[in-house]
């Protein structure tokens, strides 16, 4: 790949490694290398071969190879983002069709800034920013699940009816299951959960040994539920992303130990996201088992009613308590009521599913015994929407720092303004950050809509919630240049030199 800079020199770039190899004066390039370079670029396949061949044909070689994007075209720029922005209230209402559905702050904000777009009732297009945030959340989940020995798998969304009939859930789930028939008349459902499928999978492995236990299998996939009235955007939809883990143990005691292990991992996950959470005792519902807990984010829009003891931190869903009960069953203190959004659910299943599908393991004495099971869910897209619900202001999205789609937004001066000369300075800052802070590569966005004022672009940046916004204003023309840096999560605004900006951004943690 070749391009010319404004000083009349030709740059040659390795197209695979994006590494600059050679800088050649333009006249010399055409007079001495015409035809030679064309042959090199088509025949050479490796960095070393290209460098060796170039060395024979050019006396202007820069021996230091370095990684650098070739000019403005390779920077991440806002104008190229597929992201509708700044929708008016009436436009948002027309997207959803029902004004009553927009009582949820996260839904309204995500629609206004173009993070989601409705496809059909309860189903949404996730736009590029949202996909980036979901991918980051999945990475955090992977870290926590694999830290406790979880192994990631992927099971089909299409689940045969006979599996569900074996556990009687084909009828028990009722109209909540999305059902279909193939051309041969065979019945399936689009799985809202995978207890049947994973137990049948483990049961098919006839030589499962106690030495392989505990076995912790999990996946992050799309799930489907025929909600009678989907609402609140990603909080209650018909299609959603979920992390579901299934554990297999050798005894009830071991299974309950694993249960505590997974619950602790969930606690760490929500702590890392900076979310205030509650672990509440809950009903086992249609999944079954003998013990269940919900992980809830306290918020007024929540559909679950919870009771909490301020003294001993007991909490429970009102589904399992007598509503007239005002005294904590653990410490006898007074109970208070609140609302919450369920973002996680854990179940101790015992042998409910393993007995049906004959999921056995061989113990140390060679005996075949039923595995003790647990299942554990996290609503991935629901966590994202719930986090926006609890962290955001009425007008601006705020993300958990780890999940922000981009960590930094850089705003150069308006074209034609008095500060236009600072454009090159801030673009140089962008390139230097990419060079010096490798964890931020792909995390810094340049708002190149220079036909807009800095104020208008700052307003958009506030709405989208970039953790850091760097502005090249009047003080960028000082010697040394000072950049205005907004920290969105704290509201702090400071002026920093390039060195100060580098020091600040070096401490940014990215998953």
Q: What is the CATH number of the domain that holds 481?
A: 3.40.50.800
With tokens 């960590």, the residue in question is: 407
Contact 339, 303 (CB under 8 A): yes
For the chain, which ranges sit under pLDDT 70? Answer: 1-73, 85-101, 323
Contact 470, 484 (CB under 8 A): yes
Nearest CA-CA partner of 301 in 385, 242, 366: 385
318 and 276 part of one domain: yes
Pick from 50, 67, 84: which residue ends a domain? Answer: 67
Residue 397 domain flag = no
Number of domains in the chain: 3
Residue 91 domain flag = no
253 and 351 part of one domain: yes
Tell me: the pLDDT tens digits for 65-100? 333 433 444 799 999 998 776 666 666 666 666 555
Tokens representing 269? 């996950």
Residue 442 domain flag = yes
Nearest CA-CA partner of 173 in 285, 45, 322, 336: 285
The 2-4 sheet, strands edge to edge: 2-4, 9-14, 19-25, 66-67
360 and 418 part of one domain: no
pLDDT at 38: 42
Q: CB burial class (10 A; 0-12, 13-18, 19+) of residue 387? A: buried
pLDDT at 98: 58
Pick from 391, 425, 444: which residue ends a domain? Answer: 391
**Alpha carbons 202 and 139: distance in angstroms, whole number:** 26
153 and 257 part of one domain: yes
212 and 357 part of one domain: yes
pTM for the model stands at 0.83
Residue 178 domain flag = yes
162 and 272 part of one domain: yes
149 and 173 part of one domain: yes
Residue 388: what are its φ and ψ, rounded to 5°?
-65, -40
Domain residue limits at 37 = 2-67
CA-to-CA dists, residue 434 to 52, 244, 429, 437, 438, angstroms:
28, 36, 9, 6, 6
Which is it for the CA torsion 363, 369, 372, 373, positive or negative? positive
DSSP assigned state of 277:
-
Residue 459 domain flag = yes
58 and 192 part of one domain: no
Pick from 347, 362, 391: which residue ends a domain? Answer: 391
Residue 80 domain flag = no
104 and 54 part of one domain: no
């Amino acid at each position: 790949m070749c391009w010319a800079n404004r000083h009349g020199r030709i740059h040659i770039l390795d197209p695979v490694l994006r590494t600059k190899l050679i800088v050649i004066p333009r006249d010399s390039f055409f007079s001495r290398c015409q035809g030679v370079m064309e042959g090199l670029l088509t025949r050479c396949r490796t960095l070393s071969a290209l460098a060796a061949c170039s060395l024979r044909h050019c006396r202007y070689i820069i021996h230091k190879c370095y990684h650098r994007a070739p000019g403005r075209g390779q920077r991440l720029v806002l104008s190229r983002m597929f992201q509708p922005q700044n929708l008016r209230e009436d436009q948002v209402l027309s997207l959803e069709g029902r004004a009553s559905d927009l009582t949820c702050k996260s839904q309204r904000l995500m629609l206004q800034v173009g993070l989601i777009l409705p496809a059909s009732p309860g189903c949404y297009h996730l736009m590029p920013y949202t996909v980036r945030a979901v991918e980051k959340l999945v990475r955090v989940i992977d870290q926590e699940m694999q830290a406790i020995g979880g192994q990631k798998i992927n099971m089909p969304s299409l689940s045969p009816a006979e599996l569900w009939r074996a556990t009687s859930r084909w009828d028990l789930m009722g109209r909540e299951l999305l059902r279909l028939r193939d051309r041969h008349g065979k019945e399936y459902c689009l799985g809202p959960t995978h207890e049947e499928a994973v137990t049948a999978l483990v049961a098919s492995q006839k030589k499962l040994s106690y030495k392989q236990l505990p076995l912790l299998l999990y996946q992050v996939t799309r799930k489907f539920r025929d909600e009678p009235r989907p609402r609140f955007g990603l909080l209650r939809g018909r299609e959603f992303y979920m992390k579901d883990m299934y554990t297999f143990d050798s005894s009830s005691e071991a299974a309950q130990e694993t249960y505590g292990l997974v619950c602790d991992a969930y606690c760490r996950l929500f702590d890392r996201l900076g979310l205030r959470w509650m672990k509440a005792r809950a009903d086992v519902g249609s999944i079954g088992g003998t013990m269940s807990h919900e992980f809830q984010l306290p918020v007024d829009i929540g559909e679950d009613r919870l009771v909490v003891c301020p003294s001993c931190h007991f909490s429970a869903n009102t589904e399992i308590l007598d509503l007239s009960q005002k005294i904590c069953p653990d410490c006898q203190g007074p109970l208070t009521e609140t609302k919450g959004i369920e973002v996680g659910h854990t179940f101790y299943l015992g042998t409910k599913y393993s007995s049906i599908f004959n999921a056995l393991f061989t113990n140390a004495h060679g005996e075949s015994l039923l595995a003790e099971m647990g299942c554990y869910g996290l609503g991935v897209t629901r966590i994202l929407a719930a986090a926006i619900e609890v962290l955001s202001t009425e007008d601006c999205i705020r993300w958990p720092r780890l999940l922000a789609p981009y960590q930094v937004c850089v705003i150069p001066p308006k074209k034609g303004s008095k500060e236009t000369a600072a454009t090159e300075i801030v673009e140089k800052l962008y390139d230097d950050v990419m060079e010096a802070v490798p964890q931020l590569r792909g995390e810094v966005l340049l708002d190149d809509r220079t036909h807009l004022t800095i104020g208008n672009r700052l307003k958009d940046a506030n709405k989208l919630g970039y953790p850091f916004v760097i502005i090249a204003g009047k003080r960028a023309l000082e010697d040394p240049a000072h950049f205005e840096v907004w920290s969105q999560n704290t509201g702090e605004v400071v002026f920093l030199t390039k060195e100060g900006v580098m020091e600040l951004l070096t401490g940014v943690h990215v998953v």
